[in-house]
Amino acid sequence: MASIPTPSHSIQTTNTSRTNFPCLPINKPIHKKLHICLNKSSLRVESCSTPNYNDVVVDEEMDKIRRLQNGSDVRGVALQGEKGRSVDLTPPAVEAIAESFGEWVISGLEKEKDVRVSLGKDPRISGNMLSVAVFAGLSRAGCVVFDMGLATTPACFMSTILPPFEYDASIMMTASHLPYTRNGLKFFTKKGGLTSPEVEEICDKAARKYANRFAKVSTTLPITPTMVDFMSAYAEHLRDIIKDRVNHPFHYATPLTGFQDSEARSAWGDKELGELRAALETVLWEKANHAVQVKQSGSRINQLNTEISGVRERNKIVAGELVTYRDLLTDTRREIAALTAAKSEDERHAATYREDATTSHIMARDISMAVEQKLIRAIEHARAEEKRETLEELGARGIDLSDDLKEARAVEERLELLISLDKGEDNSDEE
269-288 per-position pLDDT tens digit: 555 556 656 766 676 677 66
For residue 329, tell me if it sits in a domain. no
Shared domain check, 206 and 66: yes
Q: Choose the final residue of a domain: 200, 224, 246.
A: 246
Q: Assess whether pLDDT exceeds 90 at residue 140.
A: yes
239 lies in the same domain as 365: no
The domain of 106 spans 54-246
Residues 369 and 220 in one domain: no
Would you state the pLDDT for residue 212? 80
Is residue 323 situated within a structural domain?
Answer: no
Total domains present in the chain: 2
CB distance 223 to 132 below 8 Å? no
* Average pLDDT of the residues in 217-236: 78
Co-location of 218 and 91 in the same domain: yes
Whether 92 is covered by a domain: the verdict is: yes
Is the pLDDT reported for residue 2 higher than 90? no
Q: How confident is the model at residue 354 (pLDDT cuts 50, 70, 90)?
A: confident
Which tens digit of pLDDT belongs to each residue from 141-172? 999 999 999 999 999 999 999 999 999 999 99
Same domain membership, residue 63 and residue 210: yes
Residue 412's pLDDT is: 85
Residue 306 has pLDDT above 80, yes or no: yes
CA neighbor of 199 nearest in space, from 209, 188, 211, 215: 188
Judged against a pLDDT cut of 90, whether residue 186 lies above it is answered with yes
Answer whether residue 18 is part of any domain.
no
Q: Which residue has the higher pLDDT, 359 or 235?
A: 235
How far is CA 123 from each of CA 90, 156, 180, 208, 286, rounded to the nearest angstrom?
A: 18, 15, 10, 30, 41
Contact yes or no for 99/145 (Cβ under 8 A): no
In a domain, 24, yes or no: no
Residues 6 or more apart whose CB falls under 8 angstroms from that of 253 comprise 243
**Residues with Cβ < 8 Å from 128, sequence gap 6 or more?**
none
Residues 362, 239 share a domain: no
Last residue of a domain, one of 197, 227, 246: 246
* Helical pair 196-211 and 59-66, crossing angle rounded to 10 deg: 140
Q: Domain holding 98: CATH number?
A: 3.40.120.10
Is the backbone of residue 137 left (phi > 0), alpha (psi -120 to 50) or beta?
A: alpha
In this structure, are residues 321 and 386 in contact, taking their beta carbons and an 8 Å threshold?
A: yes
For residue 105, name the pLDDT band (cuts at 50, 70, 90).
Answer: very high
In a domain, 106, yes or no: yes
Q: Is residue 126 part of a domain?
A: yes
Averaged pLDDT for residues 59-82:
92
Q: Which of 114, 130, 128 is nearest to 167 (CA)?
A: 114
End-of-domain residue from the set 216, 246, 276? 246
